Amino acid sequence: FDESACIQCGLCKSTCPEKVIELVPRIDFAAQSRGTVTIKEEEPAHCVRCGKAFGTRSAIDAVVRKLEGRHWMFADKAIVERLRMCGDCRIVVQSESKIDPYAGTPRPHPRTSDEYEALHDLPPGEKKKPG
């Protein structure tokens, strides 16, 4: 973080996943002489497919914890594993899989009159009387 380059736009505050950044309007002349200061440093997350660093390990682990087993789209372990892949590998794996993300749930089988009659123990051709 280089405070002398900060223009108080608030972008860092609004995008912080932990919501811990607070903006303080000030001009700190001592900050200009200090230079760049490392406030927090984390280990990068590496893609499980190609090994490329693509984010912080803590952020990826937090997303996996929030979605794994709690969201219907992430019920399958193979899909959860995609969260641990870089954007390029995620696209490759998705295109290689036979999963249709737009498929939705299967439509129910339409019931025929024969099935309805068998379900309600009616003789063939007789309709159920209302009431």
- Using one digit for the tens of pLDDT, what is the confidence trace for 68-112? 888 888 888 888 999 999 999 999 998 888 777 677 777 888 888
The domain limits of the chain are 1-41, 42-99
Using the predicted structure, report yes or no on whether residue 36 has a pLDDT greater than 80.
Answer: no
Average pLDDT, the chain: 83
Select, from the ranges 55-59, 103-107, 120-124, the one with the highest average predicted confidence (pLDDT): 55-59
Share of the chain above pLDDT 70, in %: 88
CB atoms within 10 A of CB 117: 16
Question: Quick check: helix, strand or coil at residue 44?
Answer: strand
Torsion of CA 18, 30, 33, 13, to 10 degrees: 20
C-alpha to C-alpha distance for 51 and 127, rounded to whole angstroms:
66
C-alpha to C-alpha distance for 86 and 116, rounded to whole angstroms:
52
C-alpha to C-alpha distance for 2 and 39, rounded to whole angstroms:
10
pLDDT at 119: 83
pLDDT at 74: 85
C-alpha to C-alpha distance for 118 and 91, rounded to whole angstroms:
49
